[in-house]
Structure formats: C-alpha cells, structure tokens
Amino acid sequence: MLKALDHLEEWLIAFLMGAATVVIFVAVVHRYASGIPWPAFQDWLLTINLSWAQELCIYMFIWMAKFGAAYGVRTGIHVGVDVLVNRMPDKPRAGFVLFGLLAGALFTGIIGTLGARFVWEIGHTDQVSPDLEAPMWIVFLAIPLGSYLMCFRFLQVAWSFWRAGELPHHDHGHVEGMEEVSDVDLVPLAMKDNLHPRDVPK
C-alpha cells in the first residue's frame, strides 16, 4: 500500500512538471509565431486562444509544490538547520528530532484541516477561475490533499526514527540509475586502449 502511494506521488509530480513544461512551451511558441506575418498561417494562429495556458501552469505548479513538499519529507531533501542538534548526545538529539517531526505533523495537519474547511465552503459557491473557468474548489483542493499527505509523511518518518533511529537521507551526489565505477572496473578499459589505469579519466 505504501509502495503504491510512493509511486502515485512520484508519478503525479513528474506528470505535473512535464505537462506544465509542455503547455508553457507551446504557449510561448504560439505567441512568437503569431507575430510573424505569414499569409493565412498567421490568421489561423490568431484564432487559437491560449490565454488559459499561464493560469493552468500556475495551478499545476501549485499542485506540484504541495505534493513535492510531501515527497521532500519522505526522502529527506528538505533543508534543515541541524548543526547544533547533530552535536548533541544521542538521547537528547532523538528527543529534539522527534519533537521537530511531530511539530511538522501538527502544523501540516492544522493547515490541511483549515484547507479542507475552506474547500468545503468554496465548493458551495459558483466561484470559477478567470480563464479556465474551472471550479475553484478543485484548484484549492491541493491544500488539504498536499498538507494531509505531508502530515502523514512526517508521522511516517517519526515512526521510522523511533523504531530504527534513522532519518531519510538524500545523497545529492548520487544520480538514480547511474552505477558507480571503481578503479578495478577501469582496468579492462585501460588495457583495451593501451592506457595505464592512472591515465584513465575519473
């Protein structure tokens, strides 16, 4: 179940990021191409209305940011000032870490609840977005969903830390899908090219 949630979270972030990039690229190309005086083709381009593209991209980036924040908690990529905490003895350090995680869960839980209440209230109105004319409750639904998911991730990390004493850590130097190559692996390459192993670029 958790694996399915992890994959759904990652797929949603990747889809929103890719789709927003494509939409804004098409809108920019359309804007500049419409200014070129091509016979007939320019008239056809001007009939295409892409005024909604910017608004759609803003909403997609909002959704991406909310779910990306939850992903950041799960993978440990959020920036934190933990120099002092890491210098503490193990027992006080564990207490401060758990307090920080539970405080994060409390805060995001409150934001999620307030967001859900706001979505419920705006859902009973006819308010729509200016360009897309989409119901605004769908746009603001990102707040409770993303915040509750982030709250769950804080609790998940806190439970894992309580049991194993480890926090998720992201290695910024590691690229997923890329295998590390040792000096031993470079020896066949050096022999093939008649190079000394020390001359092979690292």
Mean of pLDDT values over 4-21:
94
Task: Let me know: does 17 contact 64? Beta carbons within 8 Å.
Answer: yes
pLDDT for residue 159 is more than 60: yes
pLDDT for residue 75 is more than 70: yes
Task: Compute the distance between CA of residue 48 and CA of residue 76 in angstroms, rounded to an integer.
Answer: 44
Say whether 128 sits in a helix, a strand or coil: strand
Per-residue pLDDT, 46: 86
pLDDT for residue 71 is more than 90: yes
Quick one: what percent of the chain has pLDDT higher than 90? 55
For residue range 16-65, list pLDDT tens digits in order: 999 999 999 999 999 989 888 888 888 888 888 898 999 999 999 999 99
Higher per-residue confidence, 89 vs 63: 63
For residue range 160-192, list pLDDT tens digits in order: 989 888 888 766 565 565 666 555 555 555 555
Contacts of 26 (CB under 8 A, 6+ apart): 50, 53
Structure confidence at residue 113 as a pLDDT band (50, 70, 90) = very high
Q: Give me the residue spans of the domains in the chain.
A: 2-167
Task: Let me know: does 112 contact 143? Beta carbons within 8 Å.
Answer: yes
C-alpha 85: how far from its chain's center? 27
Instruction: Of 35, 34, 32, give the one whose Cα is nearest residue 45.
Output: 34
Task: Compute the distance between CA of residue 63 and CA of residue 15 in angstroms, rounded to an integer.
Answer: 11
Q: What does the DSSP 8-state code read for residue 135? A: B
